[in-house]
Structure 1
């Protein structure tokens, strides 16, 4: 309780001590926040999204040290994953300070949805995809808005028609299946030597996989670079 009283007194003392100067007011903070959000809305409009926003509430008596530079405003989190982000408002002048301003932001636009029920393990094709207008940032796991991010992906679980696609619903299909014959490239700079091998496990592009070299019968760990191709350092 004493700590709380002390902190409150310290804050009031700071405000009183700066009141005689030309202090940064709540109105100035709102103005900087609105300019930032308006610019964000205009940028997203160019990408086909509609943004509505509302600044949070500050005590009208708020008074911070005067800032001899323009206030800097950024999102403190990802506005595409919540409708209630906060803005970080800061002064980098001679008497620096920073504060958080809660705001409401809705981003509406087309997101990719399932055009029909989809099963676990199903590989996505163009016919499985459709679009629908949604509040994109109300979907906590992040709505997918681009068709090219979905075609060829595999469903992690089944979903109903109209379900918005999110990253957690998808699996990157294996570029190599266990038992596949592959080309092993031993590479050093621009020089490489190729040999034939057999994959001992399934893996996607960029992943490591054990491969048996069919010429030497040795087992090596290689990185998948493309379907049917792996690479090892020389």
Structure 2
């Protein structure tokens, strides 16, 4: 009799206790689908076409119930990988997070070489054309704006039709060895100019040794523009 009463008490306590639901694999998959669909719509407004498929999630997965909508964000750059990772997180009273992957393909216009390019050649608008490519399939990145490439120098030979990537180009030297340059010495709102000769080649933002033609002193200066260097006073 005593055993029966104890069993009844335990049964009633179980029935009266709130049942804790789990966050299922299907709910996580749905959250990632909604996130990816939103990303695709955002990029469509910018002229890109995005196709996607969430990675597989073990159907046996069961995480703590989340009383708030699941938070999803990329933890890997979708523009540099066709299999970016995503973080799915619960911000509720029993927080958790997990990572899933997805297959993402981003197609859009990018610059390609209109003809073969040779090393050291200066890029002009006529050397470039645009075509639709899978942008995130290139781990080296792409260039979508011609203004980012025009005026740059080709670092190595490029075949016609090849995708132009940032590592193929470099900024041309703003100062060449032997060039006469304007040296500006600045302090506060006061500046003094003199003429000098570059002892090496350098691009904007780089440092170069310059001979002051008036004093014959050699100084280290920063290249600020073609033919112009600057030193602090």
TM-score by length of 2: 0.88
Structure 1 residue 225 corresponds to structure 2 residue 218: no
The residue number in structure 1 matching 2:198 is 199
Compare 79-88 and 31-40 and name the one that shifted more. Answer: 31-40
Moved over 4 A (4+): none
Q: Distance in 1 between matches of 2:76 and 2:198?
A: 42
Instruction: Write out per-residue CA displacement over residues 81-137 of structure 1, whole angstroms, 9 at most, x where no aligned residue.
Output: 111111111223332222111100000011100000111110000110001111111
TM-superposed deviation, 1:143: 1.6
The residue number in structure 2 matching 1:5 is none
Inter-CA distance 68–192: structure 2 relative to 1 (3 Å threshold):
farther
Instruction: Write out per-residue CA displacement over residues 123-162 of structure 1, whole angstroms, 9 at most, x where no aligned residue.
Output: 0001100011111111121121111111001111111110
- Paired residue total: 215
The residue number in structure 2 matching 1:113 is 112
The residue number in structure 1 matching 2:123 is 124
TM-superposed deviation, 1:43: 1.6
Structure 1 residue 182 corresponds to structure 2 residue 161: no
Q: 3-state DSSP class of the match of 2:196?
A: strand
Q: Distance in 1 between matches of 2:224 and 2:190?
A: 16
TM-superposed deviation, 1:40: 1.3
Compare 57-66 and 101-110 and name the one that shifted more. Answer: 57-66
TM-score by length of 1: 0.88
Q: Distance in 1 between matches of 2:143 and 2:86?
A: 24
Q: Distance in 2 between matches of 1:152 and 1:74?
A: 37
The residue number in structure 1 matching 2:92 is 93
Cα RMSD (Å): 1.3
Q: Distance in 1 between matches of 2:180 and 2:90?
A: 61
Could you say which structure has the larger radius of gyration? 2
Q: Distance in 1 between matches of 2:168 and 2:26?
A: 44
The residue number in structure 2 matching 1:83 is 82
What 5-or-longer segments of structure 1 have no aligned partner? 1-19
Q: State how 1:1-234 maps to structure 2 within 5 Å.
A: 20-234=19-233
What 5-or-longer segments of structure 2 have no aligned partner? 1-18
